[in-house]
Chains A and B, each alone.
Chain A
Amino acid sequence: MKPAPFKYYAPTTVEEALAHLAEHGYGAKALAGGQSLIPMLNFRLAQPSVLVDLNNVSELFYIRSDDNGGLLLGAMTRQRQVELDPLIAERAPLVHEVMPQIAYPQIRTRGTFGGSLAHADPSAELVAVSIALNGRFRLRSQAGERWVPADEFFVGLFTTVLEPDELLMEVALPAMPPRSGGSFLQITRRHHDFCIAGIAALVTLDGKDQCEQARLVFLSAGDGPVIARQAADMLVGQAPTPEAIRAAAEKAASDEIDPGSDIHASAEYRRHLAKVLARRALTQAFDRASNI
Protein backbone atom coordinates (compact mmCIF):
# COMPACT_ATOMS: atom_id res chain seq x y z
CA MET A 1 0.00 0.00 0.00
CA LYS A 2 1.06 3.64 -0.17
CA PRO A 3 0.33 6.41 2.31
CA ALA A 4 -3.05 8.11 2.27
CA PRO A 5 -2.99 11.75 1.14
CA PHE A 6 -1.98 14.40 3.67
CA LYS A 7 -1.21 18.07 3.85
CA TYR A 8 2.51 18.64 4.32
CA TYR A 9 4.36 21.40 6.12
CA ALA A 10 8.14 21.76 6.44
CA PRO A 11 8.72 24.49 9.04
CA THR A 12 12.21 25.74 9.77
CA THR A 13 11.57 26.94 13.33
CA VAL A 14 9.98 25.45 16.43
CA GLU A 15 7.50 28.32 16.53
CA GLU A 16 6.26 27.56 13.03
CA ALA A 17 5.98 23.86 13.84
CA LEU A 18 4.00 24.56 17.01
CA ALA A 19 1.66 26.85 15.10
CA HIS A 20 0.82 24.05 12.65
CA LEU A 21 0.23 21.58 15.48
CA ALA A 22 -1.95 24.07 17.35
CA GLU A 23 -4.03 24.68 14.25
CA HIS A 24 -4.62 21.03 13.36
CA GLY A 25 -4.64 19.32 16.78
CA TYR A 26 -5.38 15.59 16.60
CA GLY A 27 -5.36 15.67 12.81
CA ALA A 28 -1.66 16.42 12.67
CA LYS A 29 1.40 14.26 13.33
CA ALA A 30 4.92 15.51 13.79
CA LEU A 31 7.40 13.76 11.47
CA ALA A 32 10.84 13.24 13.01
CA GLY A 33 13.12 10.54 11.55
CA GLY A 34 10.12 8.74 10.10
CA GLN A 35 11.62 5.29 10.72
CA SER A 36 8.65 4.26 12.86
CA LEU A 37 5.95 6.61 11.58
CA ILE A 38 6.40 6.16 7.83
CA PRO A 39 6.03 2.35 8.00
CA MET A 40 2.70 2.99 9.73
CA LEU A 41 1.68 5.39 6.98
CA ASN A 42 2.81 2.90 4.32
CA PHE A 43 0.52 0.26 5.82
CA ARG A 44 -2.18 2.83 6.52
CA LEU A 45 -2.12 1.88 10.20
CA ALA A 46 -1.96 5.63 10.64
CA GLN A 47 -3.55 8.18 8.33
CA PRO A 48 -2.83 11.66 9.68
CA SER A 49 -4.41 14.38 7.58
CA VAL A 50 -1.47 16.69 8.26
CA LEU A 51 2.26 15.98 8.57
CA VAL A 52 4.53 18.54 10.17
CA ASP A 53 8.06 17.66 9.05
CA LEU A 54 10.62 18.63 11.70
CA ASN A 55 13.71 17.70 9.67
CA ASN A 56 14.46 21.33 8.75
CA VAL A 57 14.11 22.67 12.30
CA SER A 58 17.84 22.96 12.85
CA GLU A 59 17.50 24.31 16.40
CA LEU A 60 16.41 20.82 17.56
CA PHE A 61 19.61 19.03 16.52
CA TYR A 62 22.31 19.20 19.24
CA ILE A 63 24.20 17.42 22.02
CA ARG A 64 25.47 19.74 24.76
CA SER A 65 26.86 19.68 28.28
CA ASP A 66 24.68 21.05 31.00
CA ASP A 67 26.22 22.83 34.01
CA ASN A 68 26.17 19.77 36.27
CA GLY A 69 28.14 17.16 34.36
CA GLY A 70 25.04 15.93 32.53
CA LEU A 71 23.87 16.18 28.94
CA LEU A 72 21.17 17.93 26.93
CA LEU A 73 20.05 16.41 23.63
CA GLY A 74 17.86 18.16 21.09
CA ALA A 75 14.95 15.89 20.23
CA MET A 76 15.82 15.71 16.53
CA THR A 77 19.43 14.62 17.10
CA ARG A 78 20.06 11.69 14.76
CA GLN A 79 20.66 8.36 16.46
CA ARG A 80 23.83 7.99 14.42
CA GLN A 81 25.18 11.24 15.94
CA VAL A 82 24.40 9.98 19.43
CA GLU A 83 26.15 6.71 18.60
CA LEU A 84 29.36 8.50 17.60
CA ASP A 85 29.40 11.32 20.15
CA PRO A 86 32.28 11.31 22.65
CA LEU A 87 30.33 13.25 25.32
CA ILE A 88 27.65 10.56 25.26
CA ALA A 89 30.30 7.83 25.56
CA GLU A 90 31.79 9.59 28.56
CA ARG A 91 28.72 10.74 30.48
CA ALA A 92 25.99 8.33 29.40
CA PRO A 93 27.81 5.04 28.76
CA LEU A 94 24.54 3.11 28.88
CA VAL A 95 23.23 5.15 25.95
CA HIS A 96 26.49 4.64 24.10
CA GLU A 97 26.25 0.91 24.68
CA VAL A 98 22.67 0.68 23.48
CA MET A 99 22.90 2.75 20.28
CA PRO A 100 24.45 0.08 17.98
CA GLN A 101 21.70 -2.33 19.07
CA ILE A 102 18.92 -0.12 17.78
CA ALA A 103 17.62 -1.39 14.42
CA TYR A 104 20.28 -1.08 11.66
CA PRO A 105 22.81 1.57 10.63
CA GLN A 106 20.54 2.79 7.82
CA ILE A 107 17.69 3.37 10.27
CA ARG A 108 19.96 5.27 12.66
CA THR A 109 21.06 7.79 10.03
CA ARG A 110 17.50 9.16 9.89
CA GLY A 111 16.00 8.02 13.18
CA THR A 112 16.12 10.54 15.99
CA PHE A 113 16.66 10.28 19.74
CA GLY A 114 13.47 12.16 20.58
CA GLY A 115 11.42 10.52 17.86
CA SER A 116 11.92 7.08 19.40
CA LEU A 117 10.77 8.46 22.76
CA ALA A 118 7.71 10.25 21.38
CA HIS A 119 6.70 7.11 19.44
CA ALA A 120 6.83 5.05 22.68
CA ASP A 121 7.16 1.53 21.30
CA PRO A 122 7.26 -0.85 24.30
CA SER A 123 10.35 -2.52 22.87
CA ALA A 124 12.25 0.72 22.25
CA GLU A 125 15.70 0.68 23.79
CA LEU A 126 15.91 4.45 24.27
CA VAL A 127 12.62 4.50 26.16
CA ALA A 128 13.89 2.07 28.80
CA VAL A 129 17.35 3.64 28.99
CA SER A 130 15.99 7.18 29.41
CA ILE A 131 13.95 6.01 32.38
CA ALA A 132 16.82 4.00 33.89
CA LEU A 133 19.05 7.08 33.67
CA ASN A 134 16.41 9.33 35.31
CA GLY A 135 16.11 11.46 32.21
CA ARG A 136 13.83 14.49 32.02
CA PHE A 137 11.99 15.69 28.94
CA ARG A 138 11.21 19.29 27.98
CA LEU A 139 7.91 19.70 26.19
CA ARG A 140 6.65 22.85 24.52
CA SER A 141 3.42 24.10 23.00
CA GLN A 142 2.24 27.57 22.12
CA ALA A 143 0.90 27.74 25.69
CA GLY A 144 4.32 27.26 27.25
CA GLU A 145 6.88 24.73 28.41
CA ARG A 146 6.93 21.94 30.95
CA TRP A 147 9.44 19.35 32.15
CA VAL A 148 8.30 15.75 32.59
CA PRO A 149 10.46 13.06 34.22
CA ALA A 150 11.02 10.05 31.95
CA ASP A 151 9.21 7.73 34.36
CA GLU A 152 6.02 9.79 34.00
CA PHE A 153 6.19 10.39 30.25
CA PHE A 154 5.07 6.98 28.96
CA VAL A 155 1.48 6.10 29.78
CA GLY A 156 0.43 3.31 27.45
CA LEU A 157 0.90 1.50 24.16
CA PHE A 158 2.45 4.08 21.79
CA THR A 159 1.08 6.71 24.16
CA THR A 160 2.88 9.48 25.99
CA VAL A 161 1.72 12.55 27.88
CA LEU A 162 2.39 14.72 24.81
CA GLU A 163 -0.68 16.76 23.92
CA PRO A 164 -1.53 17.00 20.20
CA ASP A 165 -0.17 20.57 20.09
CA GLU A 166 3.04 19.76 22.00
CA LEU A 167 6.52 18.91 20.81
CA LEU A 168 9.23 17.02 22.66
CA MET A 169 12.06 19.57 22.51
CA GLU A 170 14.92 18.20 24.57
CA VAL A 171 16.07 15.31 26.73
CA ALA A 172 18.16 16.07 29.83
CA LEU A 173 20.30 13.20 31.10
CA PRO A 174 21.78 13.89 34.53
CA ALA A 175 25.37 13.03 35.38
CA MET A 176 25.65 9.43 36.60
CA PRO A 177 26.03 9.48 40.38
CA PRO A 178 29.44 8.32 41.64
CA ARG A 179 29.78 4.53 42.07
CA SER A 180 27.02 3.84 39.55
CA GLY A 181 26.84 1.08 37.01
CA GLY A 182 24.42 0.37 34.21
CA SER A 183 23.49 -2.63 32.12
CA PHE A 184 21.31 -3.22 29.08
CA LEU A 185 20.38 -6.71 27.89
CA GLN A 186 17.84 -7.89 25.37
CA ILE A 187 16.85 -11.16 23.73
CA THR A 188 16.19 -11.12 20.01
CA ARG A 189 15.86 -14.03 17.59
CA ARG A 190 18.09 -12.24 15.11
CA HIS A 191 20.35 -9.28 15.80
CA HIS A 192 18.49 -6.01 15.55
CA ASP A 193 14.98 -7.45 15.73
CA PHE A 194 12.49 -5.90 18.13
CA CYS A 195 13.25 -7.73 21.37
CA ILE A 196 11.20 -10.52 22.89
CA ALA A 197 12.33 -9.32 26.34
CA GLY A 198 14.78 -6.71 27.52
CA ILE A 199 15.97 -4.78 30.54
CA ALA A 200 17.80 -1.56 31.36
CA ALA A 201 19.28 -1.34 34.84
CA LEU A 202 21.11 1.37 36.75
CA VAL A 203 22.42 0.87 40.29
CA THR A 204 24.43 2.99 42.71
CA LEU A 205 26.56 1.78 45.61
CA ASP A 206 27.02 3.65 48.86
CA GLY A 207 30.19 3.95 50.97
CA LYS A 208 29.60 0.56 52.57
CA ASP A 209 29.27 -1.19 49.19
CA GLN A 210 25.55 -1.60 49.73
CA CYS A 211 22.94 -0.64 47.16
CA GLU A 212 21.99 3.00 47.54
CA GLN A 213 19.54 3.13 44.66
CA ALA A 214 18.41 0.90 41.83
CA ARG A 215 16.33 1.29 38.73
CA LEU A 216 15.04 -1.63 36.64
CA VAL A 217 13.10 -1.01 33.46
CA PHE A 218 11.76 -3.85 31.30
CA LEU A 219 11.10 -3.76 27.56
CA SER A 220 8.45 -5.84 25.79
CA ALA A 221 6.93 -6.71 29.16
CA GLY A 222 3.71 -4.72 28.98
CA ASP A 223 2.01 -1.90 27.10
CA GLY A 224 4.95 0.33 27.67
CA PRO A 225 8.18 0.32 29.66
CA VAL A 226 7.66 -1.46 32.97
CA ILE A 227 9.51 -0.05 35.99
CA ALA A 228 10.06 -2.75 38.62
CA ARG A 229 9.89 -0.53 41.70
CA GLN A 230 9.31 -3.26 44.28
CA ALA A 231 12.30 -5.23 43.07
CA ALA A 232 14.40 -2.07 43.22
CA ASP A 233 13.18 -1.34 46.78
CA MET A 234 14.20 -4.84 47.85
CA LEU A 235 17.79 -4.09 46.85
CA VAL A 236 18.18 -0.72 48.54
CA GLY A 237 20.17 -0.88 51.78
CA GLN A 238 21.37 -4.40 51.04
CA ALA A 239 24.66 -5.81 49.90
CA PRO A 240 24.22 -6.88 46.28
CA THR A 241 24.82 -10.58 46.86
CA PRO A 242 23.81 -13.18 44.26
CA GLU A 243 20.94 -14.16 46.60
CA ALA A 244 19.67 -10.60 46.88
CA ILE A 245 19.89 -10.15 43.13
CA ARG A 246 18.10 -13.43 42.47
CA ALA A 247 15.31 -12.48 44.87
CA ALA A 248 14.86 -9.09 43.23
CA ALA A 249 14.81 -10.66 39.75
CA GLU A 250 12.16 -13.18 40.89
CA LYS A 251 10.04 -10.42 42.38
CA ALA A 252 10.20 -8.32 39.25
CA ALA A 253 9.40 -11.18 36.89
CA SER A 254 6.59 -12.69 38.99
CA ASP A 255 4.77 -9.64 40.25
CA GLU A 256 5.69 -6.52 38.39
CA ILE A 257 5.58 -7.22 34.66
CA ASP A 258 2.64 -8.05 32.43
CA PRO A 259 4.02 -9.52 29.22
CA GLY A 260 1.72 -10.57 26.42
CA SER A 261 1.68 -13.59 24.14
CA ASP A 262 2.09 -13.22 20.40
CA ILE A 263 3.61 -15.09 17.44
CA HIS A 264 7.12 -14.34 18.71
CA ALA A 265 6.83 -15.61 22.29
CA SER A 266 4.35 -16.67 24.94
CA ALA A 267 3.81 -14.63 28.08
CA GLU A 268 5.32 -17.40 30.21
CA TYR A 269 8.46 -17.48 28.09
CA ARG A 270 8.79 -13.69 28.26
CA ARG A 271 8.38 -13.88 32.01
CA HIS A 272 11.12 -16.48 32.22
CA LEU A 273 13.42 -14.39 30.02
CA ALA A 274 12.72 -11.31 32.12
CA LYS A 275 13.79 -13.12 35.27
CA VAL A 276 17.03 -14.34 33.72
CA LEU A 277 17.83 -10.97 32.14
CA ALA A 278 17.10 -9.14 35.39
CA ARG A 279 19.53 -11.35 37.27
CA ARG A 280 22.25 -10.93 34.62
CA ALA A 281 21.70 -7.19 34.22
CA LEU A 282 21.78 -6.50 37.96
CA THR A 283 24.91 -8.59 38.34
CA GLN A 284 26.63 -6.70 35.54
CA ALA A 285 25.42 -3.30 36.78
CA PHE A 286 26.68 -3.92 40.33
CA ASP A 287 30.00 -5.21 39.01
CA ARG A 288 30.43 -2.07 36.94
CA ALA A 289 29.44 0.14 39.90
CA SER A 290 32.07 -1.43 42.13
CA ASN A 291 34.80 -1.30 39.52
CA ILE A 292 34.77 2.47 39.16
Chain B
Amino acid sequence: MDDLFTVTVTVNGTQYERTVEPRLLLSDFLRHELGLTGTHVGCEHGVCGACTILFDGQPVRSCLMFAVQANGHEILTVEGLGTMDNLHPLQEAFRETHAVQCGFCTPGILMSLLPFLEENPNPTEEEIREAISGNLCRCTGYQHIVDAVKLSAEKMGA
Protein backbone atom coordinates (compact mmCIF):
# COMPACT_ATOMS: atom_id res chain seq x y z
CA MET B 1 0.00 0.00 0.00
CA ASP B 2 2.88 2.35 0.82
CA ASP B 3 5.20 3.84 -1.66
CA LEU B 4 8.79 4.05 -0.44
CA PHE B 5 10.66 7.35 -0.30
CA THR B 6 14.36 8.10 -0.54
CA VAL B 7 15.66 10.23 2.29
CA THR B 8 18.96 12.10 2.04
CA VAL B 9 19.93 13.58 5.37
CA THR B 10 23.11 14.87 7.01
CA VAL B 11 23.57 13.56 10.54
CA ASN B 12 26.51 14.71 12.64
CA GLY B 13 28.21 15.98 9.50
CA THR B 14 27.86 12.75 7.48
CA GLN B 15 25.39 12.44 4.62
CA TYR B 16 23.20 9.32 4.52
CA GLU B 17 20.73 8.07 1.92
CA ARG B 18 18.10 5.48 2.75
CA THR B 19 14.79 4.30 1.29
CA VAL B 20 12.00 4.13 3.84
CA GLU B 21 8.25 3.93 4.42
CA PRO B 22 6.76 7.38 5.09
CA ARG B 23 5.40 6.20 8.46
CA LEU B 24 8.91 5.48 9.81
CA LEU B 25 9.49 7.88 12.71
CA LEU B 26 12.67 9.93 12.65
CA SER B 27 13.64 8.45 16.04
CA ASP B 28 13.40 4.90 14.64
CA PHE B 29 15.24 5.97 11.48
CA LEU B 30 18.19 7.26 13.50
CA ARG B 31 18.27 4.18 15.71
CA HIS B 32 17.52 1.36 13.27
CA GLU B 33 18.51 2.65 9.83
CA LEU B 34 21.62 4.54 10.95
CA GLY B 35 22.52 2.59 14.09
CA LEU B 36 22.69 5.81 16.13
CA THR B 37 21.11 4.49 19.30
CA GLY B 38 22.10 7.41 21.49
CA THR B 39 18.70 8.94 20.74
CA HIS B 40 16.24 7.19 23.06
CA VAL B 41 12.53 6.45 22.76
CA GLY B 42 10.47 6.95 25.91
CA CYS B 43 6.88 7.91 25.30
CA GLU B 44 6.31 8.46 21.56
CA HIS B 45 3.93 11.28 22.30
CA GLY B 46 6.17 14.23 22.92
CA VAL B 47 6.22 14.58 26.70
CA CYS B 48 9.35 12.80 27.95
CA GLY B 49 12.02 14.44 25.80
CA ALA B 50 14.29 11.39 25.55
CA CYS B 51 14.17 11.55 21.75
CA THR B 52 15.15 15.22 21.44
CA ILE B 53 17.66 15.96 18.67
CA LEU B 54 18.74 19.11 16.84
CA PHE B 55 17.02 19.58 13.47
CA ASP B 56 18.61 22.41 11.49
CA GLY B 57 19.98 23.59 14.84
CA GLN B 58 16.63 23.60 16.64
CA PRO B 59 15.58 21.14 19.38
CA VAL B 60 12.87 18.82 18.11
CA ARG B 61 11.08 15.64 19.22
CA SER B 62 12.31 13.01 16.76
CA CYS B 63 9.39 10.74 17.76
CA LEU B 64 7.02 13.39 16.39
CA MET B 65 8.56 13.61 12.95
CA PHE B 66 8.71 11.19 10.08
CA ALA B 67 12.08 10.33 8.54
CA VAL B 68 10.81 11.50 5.15
CA GLN B 69 10.39 14.99 6.61
CA ALA B 70 14.14 15.15 7.28
CA ASN B 71 15.01 14.87 3.60
CA GLY B 72 17.51 17.59 2.76
CA HIS B 73 17.96 18.71 6.36
CA GLU B 74 20.72 18.59 8.99
CA ILE B 75 20.53 16.69 12.24
CA LEU B 76 22.75 16.65 15.29
CA THR B 77 22.46 13.77 17.75
CA VAL B 78 24.31 13.10 20.98
CA GLU B 79 26.85 11.05 19.03
CA GLY B 80 27.86 14.26 17.31
CA LEU B 81 28.56 16.16 20.52
CA GLY B 82 31.85 14.66 21.48
CA THR B 83 33.83 11.45 21.78
CA MET B 84 35.08 9.56 24.84
CA ASP B 85 38.49 11.16 24.38
CA ASN B 86 37.08 14.57 23.56
CA LEU B 87 33.88 15.26 25.44
CA HIS B 88 31.91 18.43 24.85
CA PRO B 89 32.23 20.79 27.85
CA LEU B 90 28.56 20.13 28.64
CA GLN B 91 29.22 16.39 28.77
CA GLU B 92 32.27 17.03 30.96
CA ALA B 93 30.16 19.05 33.33
CA PHE B 94 27.51 16.28 33.49
CA ARG B 95 30.22 13.83 34.49
CA GLU B 96 31.71 16.12 37.11
CA THR B 97 28.43 16.88 38.87
CA HIS B 98 27.05 13.28 38.72
CA ALA B 99 24.19 14.43 36.52
CA VAL B 100 23.95 11.01 34.85
CA GLN B 101 22.51 7.93 36.60
CA CYS B 102 20.84 5.51 34.21
CA GLY B 103 21.52 7.84 31.31
CA PHE B 104 18.20 7.33 29.55
CA CYS B 105 17.18 10.99 29.67
CA THR B 106 20.66 12.34 29.18
CA PRO B 107 20.99 12.60 25.38
CA GLY B 108 17.65 14.40 25.11
CA ILE B 109 18.64 16.83 27.85
CA LEU B 110 22.05 17.50 26.32
CA MET B 111 20.54 18.28 22.92
CA SER B 112 17.90 20.53 24.49
CA LEU B 113 20.56 22.43 26.39
CA LEU B 114 22.87 23.14 23.46
CA PRO B 115 20.77 25.83 21.76
CA PHE B 116 19.64 27.09 25.17
CA LEU B 117 23.21 27.73 26.27
CA GLU B 118 24.03 29.40 22.97
CA GLU B 119 21.23 31.89 23.54
CA ASN B 120 21.70 32.10 27.32
CA PRO B 121 25.40 31.77 28.11
CA ASN B 122 24.83 32.84 31.72
CA PRO B 123 21.48 31.41 32.82
CA THR B 124 19.85 31.65 36.21
CA GLU B 125 18.70 28.52 38.02
CA GLU B 126 15.10 29.34 37.14
CA GLU B 127 15.95 29.71 33.47
CA ILE B 128 17.80 26.39 33.51
CA ARG B 129 14.86 24.58 35.10
CA GLU B 130 12.53 26.13 32.54
CA ALA B 131 14.86 25.03 29.73
CA ILE B 132 14.81 21.39 30.86
CA SER B 133 11.10 21.40 31.70
CA GLY B 134 10.48 19.41 28.53
CA ASN B 135 12.71 16.54 29.63
CA LEU B 136 11.77 13.96 32.28
CA CYS B 137 14.36 12.32 34.49
CA ARG B 138 13.33 9.54 36.83
CA CYS B 139 16.67 9.05 38.53
CA THR B 140 18.44 12.25 39.50
CA GLY B 141 15.82 14.64 40.82
CA TYR B 142 17.31 17.19 38.38
CA GLN B 143 19.49 19.04 40.91
CA HIS B 144 22.79 17.69 39.61
CA ILE B 145 21.65 18.37 36.06
CA VAL B 146 21.03 21.99 36.99
CA ASP B 147 24.47 22.07 38.65
CA ALA B 148 26.00 20.67 35.46
CA VAL B 149 24.47 23.42 33.39
CA LYS B 150 25.80 26.10 35.72
CA LEU B 151 29.24 24.51 35.67
CA SER B 152 29.15 24.19 31.90
CA ALA B 153 28.12 27.82 31.49
CA GLU B 154 31.25 28.72 33.40
CA LYS B 155 33.38 26.38 31.28
CA MET B 156 31.94 27.45 27.96
CA GLY B 157 31.48 31.13 28.28
CA ALA B 158 32.07 34.16 30.31
Q: Is the CB of A6 within 8 A of B23?
A: yes
Interface residues of B in 38-88 (CB under 8 A from A): 44-46, 49, 52, 55, 58-61, 63-66, 68-69
* In the assembled complex, A110 has its CB within 8 A of some CB on chain B: yes
Say yes or no: A106-B22 contact (C-beta < 8 A), given A34-B65, A39-B45: no
Asked whether A42 and B63 contact (CB < 8 A) given A2-B23, A2-B25, the answer is yes
In this complex, what residue of A is CB-closest to B72?
A: A56
* List of A residues within 8 angstroms of B46 by Cβ: 35, 38-39, 103, 107
Q: Is B131 an interface residue (CB 8 A)?
A: yes
B124 at the interface (CB under 8 A from A): no
Give the contacts of A185-216 with B (CB-CB under 8 A).
Answer: 191-192
Check: A58 CB closer than 8 A to any chain B CB.
no
What's the nearest-Cβ distance from chain A to residue B57, in Å?
10
* Interface of chain B, main secondary structure: mixed
User: Is A144 an interface position by the 8 A CB rule?
Assistant: no
Binding stretch for chain A, among B1-9, B95-103, B141-149, B150-158:
B1-9
Interface size (B, Cβ < 8 Å)? 31
B contact residues around A10 at 8 Å (CB)? 68-69
The answer to whether the Cβ of B21 comes within 8 Å of any Cβ in the partner chain is: yes
Apart from A10-B69, A35-B61, A192-B133, what 9 extra A-B contacts exist at CB < 8 Å? Answer: A5-B2, A7-B2, A7-B3, A34-B64, A34-B65, A39-B45, A41-B23, A53-B68, A107-B46
22 contacts between A and B (CB under 8 A): A1-B44, A2-B25, A3-B25, A4-B23, A5-B23, A8-B5, A10-B68, A10-B69, A34-B65, A35-B61, A39-B46, A42-B45, A42-B63, A43-B44, A53-B68, A103-B46, A103-B134, A104-B134, A105-B116, A106-B52, A109-B59, A109-B60
A interface residues (Cβ-Cβ under 8 A, vs B): 1-8, 10, 34-35, 38-39, 41-43, 51, 53, 55, 80, 103-107, 109-110, 191-192
